[in-house]
Amino acid sequence: MSDERLSAEQTERYQAHLTLPEIGEAGQRRLLAARVLVLGVGGLGCPVAQYLTAAGVGKLGLLDDDIVDRSNLQRQILFGDGDLGRNKSEAAAERLAALNPDVELQPITARLTAGNAAELVAGWDLVVDGSDNFATRYVANDACVLAGIPLVTGSIYRFEGQLTIVQSPLGPCYRCVFPTPPPEQAPCREAGVLASLPGVVGTILATESIKLLVGSGSSLLGRLLLIDLLDNSFRSVRIKRDPGCALCGDQPSILRPTAVALCRAPEA
């Protein structure tokens, strides 16, 4: 953490954080020194990136190789009609640059794979996974566990969301909870998703990230938070590290990020 005092402009900008004993100036300086990689700048990645930028995270990586499509605009709040056809990471970085000059924004036009994951997550203090598919979630989990980097991960589907934190060896990894890949879900444009759901889940992802970076409060480590906005239910389920886990167990067999074979979802 930098020993530099906050400037007058920063003191004014982050005043609401500085008055919180759980953050204060020391916590804000931790945020300003932090390096966070966001995987996917879609429904979840947009609010995550927006709030982490506003909070003053020092360097924010935005990884996405997709382009903005009109069907994204219903829920991906960083984009508008003028961004159609643009790369999501670049369009998001441009929008976020106007939000907070303290934050260094690094758009990364790439897709996380088993082959490049170790290189892409290296050097970051925290990774936030807002990807839209199980294959990427497993690879992100592997790369972060092997590199010793905390991972805040979430997913959404229709009216539902789930979130957890992976911080091995302090708690379970994604493979402990889902040792066998579930059937891949249909994309949002086919299955449908409530416009505001990514905002709810993404805001909690950003909150958990800030708490980890400043070292305050309890986290979702060892818990899976389940959200259903159709009936307004929030519940958390305790999850435990699996000693037999192929990645973080007592005798691991996965020594590098590894792609998983996904099953197709059953026909309706």
- Written as one letter, the residue type at 257 is P
Question: Is 2 a residue whose pLDDT tops 90?
Answer: no
Lowest mean pLDDT among 12-26, 207-221, 249-263: 249-263
| Average pLDDT of span 211-224 | 96
Predicted confidence at residue 4, as pLDDT, reads 79
pLDDT band of residue 267 (cuts 50, 70, 90) is very low
CB 224 within 8 A of CB 152: no
Predicted confidence at residue 266, as pLDDT, reads 46
| Average pLDDT of span 211-223 | 96
| Average pLDDT of span 204-224 | 96
d(Cα 76, Cα 78) in Å, to the nearest integer? Answer: 6
Mean model confidence pLDDT for the chain? 94
| Average pLDDT of span 60-76 | 97
More confident residue, 261 or 161: 161
Question: Is 3 a residue whose pLDDT tops 90?
Answer: no
Other beta carbons within 10 angstroms of residue 139's beta carbon come to 28
Helices 24-33, 197-214: inter-axial angle, 10-degree rounding: 110
Burial 12-41 (b: 16+ CB within 10 A, else e): ebbeebbeeeebeeebbbbbbbbbbbbbbb
* Domains of the chain and CATH, by start: 1-31 (no CATH), 34-238 (3.40.50.720)
Phi, psi of 7 (to 5 degrees): -70, 170
Q: Which residues contact 89 (CB under 8 A, 6 or more apart)?
A: 41, 62, 63, 64, 65, 107, 108, 109
End-to-end CA distance of the chain, in Å? 53
**Which residues lie across from 152 on neighbouring strands?**
128, 165
DSSP 5: P
Q: Which residues contact 115 (CB under 8 A, 6 or more apart)?
A: none
Predicted confidence at residue 106, as pLDDT, reads 98
**Which residues lie across from 88 on neighbouring strands?**
none
Regarding pTM above 0.85, the answer is: yes
Give the CA radius of gyration of the chain. 18
Which pLDDT tens digit goes with each residue over 24-53? 999 999 999 999 999 999 999 999 999 999
Catalytic residue among 144, 176, 188, 245: 188
SS3 content of the chain, % helix, strand, coil (to 5): 35, 20, 45
Which three-class secondary structure state does DSSP give residue 246?
coil
Which pLDDT tens digit goes with each residue over 174-213? 999 999 887 766 566 677 899 999 999 999 999 999 999 9
Question: Is 152 a residue whose pLDDT tops 90?
Answer: yes
Is residue 188 part of the annotated active site? The answer reads yes
C-alpha closest to that of 256 among 247, 264, 244, 266? 247
